[in-house]
Structure 1
Amino acid sequence: MLPAARRRLCLLPLPLRHFTAAVYPTTSATADPTVFYLQSTCALSPTAAARAADSIRLASPESTAQASAVLDLLRRYGFTDAHISATVRKFPIVLVSDPVKTLQPKLDFLASVGINTPLLPRLVSLSPIVLHRSIQDHLAPLFESLRELLGSNARVVTALHHMPFVVRCSPNSTLNLVLPVLRDVHGLPPEDVSKLVAVHPGVIMQAPHRLAEIVQAVKDAGIEPGEPMFVHTFAILSKMKTHTLERKYALYQSLGFQKDSVALMLRRYALAMAISEDKIKENVGFLVGRAGLSLEDIVTYPSMLVRSLESHCRRCAVLAVLRKEEKPEGNHRLAVVLVTTRKRFLQAYVQPYQNEIPDVFRAFNGEIPFEGFSVLE
């Protein structure tokens, strides 16, 4: 009886609202032809498609055909589906742009100065507004200035590989303002300005007051414009906000370093200021607390702070094994051992003993934990 009753219930008609929801699970958003096109053809999420649809309309076969022509053009220049999705999400107007008169001339110009696949689609997808920049008023003057500064199209392309968004930079209001400030106000030699832009192109988008802050921070570390380490240190500090740098100084001082010692570390190895605060605390704690080094050792070899904690543990474990076996290498100066290259470490401390003392190789692979040198004593 019960199965038959269930079959009869299944034959009863559903209320209209349930039938509609089951067969036509549409919403007002997916009913919009523009939203549908953006989702199905450009792989935008429903939220991104709805947002993009606020600025463009693809309500006719003609407008859809033009959008498809734009996508075909981008694919001919090496754009993947991911590049197209990112470009349309950031700059939906590209779909209603004239592919022949508006877009192709910009793509051709970029290709003519050496920006080809894979850089071209990456550059455009990160800064798609470049497709609406004037060649005469923006792109050509920008690349001419960069080429004059860096010396060749190839070096310009290399710089843009590091920071593609520089292509948005206005040659008149930004590029030609920043470079004279570095040269004439802060005293950087022209060749150093060129090097700085080559290693950190984003500097040309910095505001004058921000440039002054970075220059002062480098000077506070005891490095003057024109000195060999100035460009390298400037490039690293320019990626850090002023309050972040101040917090790093305070952290090092809280760990026992004098302020002058922190400045000395910055002079010797600027990347010591670029690592995270957690890594600073972990490495200093290990090097001083477990490995037995002094703060002076760290100041002398600040690159130790950038190495991974795992690498330090494994190398110390290897030295502990060698000390236990009374091998002379086990008593080499620890600070020097920790900053040597991996290849050199293997050649000097592991390979000569891997057959005689198998524990050396096990320690290097992390199979023997480092308990501290005081355990041996």
Structure 2
Amino acid sequence: MTAVTPPPTAAPAAPRTAPKAKTAAKERVPFWDNARFLCVALVVIGHGIQRLTSDSNNALIVYLFIYAFHMPAFAIISGYFSKPGPPGVRQMTKVITDIIVPYVIMESIWTLVQYLVEGKREFNPTQPSWTLWFLLALGIFRLILPYLALLRFPLLIALAASVGVGYLGNVDSTFSLSRAIGILPFFILGWKAKEWGIVDRWRGVVEHTWWLRGVAAAVLGAWLVVVVVNIQFWRDIDLRFWFFYDDSYTALGEDQWWAGLVRLGLIGLAVLLTAAFFMLIPRGDTWITGFGSATMYVYLLHSFILYPLRETGILKDEHASATWLLSMILACIAISIALSSPLVRRIFRPIIEPKPRWLFVEQPEGPMRSSRTDPTGSRRS
């Protein structure tokens, strides 16, 4: 927050105006809380019905519809609330407390769970378990954003990196690098959207233009029709794996030169669907708004609830019916709501939002400055 220095004649009023500015800066916008919760609910639904997709076209339809845009939407939201400037002490500390420490804690818990259930004896934090890849991706995004912000065309560079990394078979899921680079354009787009003021203008227009919501619904409906009509083709080419932005094109079975154009097209599709999705999200307070501040709890904890269902194999064969699909969707919505509750947040706050102050030395607030002018320290001012 930028400090406001009052004129000399207004000096006595400074103590009263400063707290007001601080309060206003922290005011939450209902639209973003609604968007966060709906996105994380789609994540839970996608993970919940994943095992059904092998035996059910209906499940695969829902899965492809969701996966085309739900993680790109999450990345756009993350980028929108990221700061591109040089990190200060507080920002650098939050990378450790909000990303690195929770990742180590959750990865350790997953290692224990997999040992007890599967007998797996391996602790390898370089290979994130299941949903933990997004934590590492966020860490990578926050570290490189100040550097990309210095460049003239950061969004174009991010697009080139995302498309280009698919041609490199040696860039894999280690530290989520391939996936982070793959969805980087969405994160940068979110940051640029805030810089351009697109969302604020968009929100004002949509409030009074009902036909834009109609267009958004038509866009999402058209994608659903495309998925339904071509479902067997999508199954044959394993389209769902393309939405992970993880494997190289060769690993996806496409080693042709034009494979990068497929990813570029999917990025464009994701942006279009995300825009339509955001346009339909309620702008004011709703019954889901309060859940929007607990999305990290839902994201990191839901996998432990779904893990037994995935491992038992119950969501296959005769349990892949439309009735089971609908039941799983409703159950995943209920899980998302339950994990957003104040009780869950109070119980699991030490591992989701740890505050390990003992890790840090005392530092003055503000940007860390160094006299070094290159990474090796060989040149000093």
Give the shorter-chain TM-score range: under 0.3
Q: Which has the larger radius of gyration?
A: 1
Scaled by the length of structure 2, what TM-score is found?
Answer: 0.20
User: Which structure has the higher relative contact order (CA within 8 Å, separation 6+)?
Assistant: 2
Scaled by the length of structure 1, what TM-score is found?
Answer: 0.20
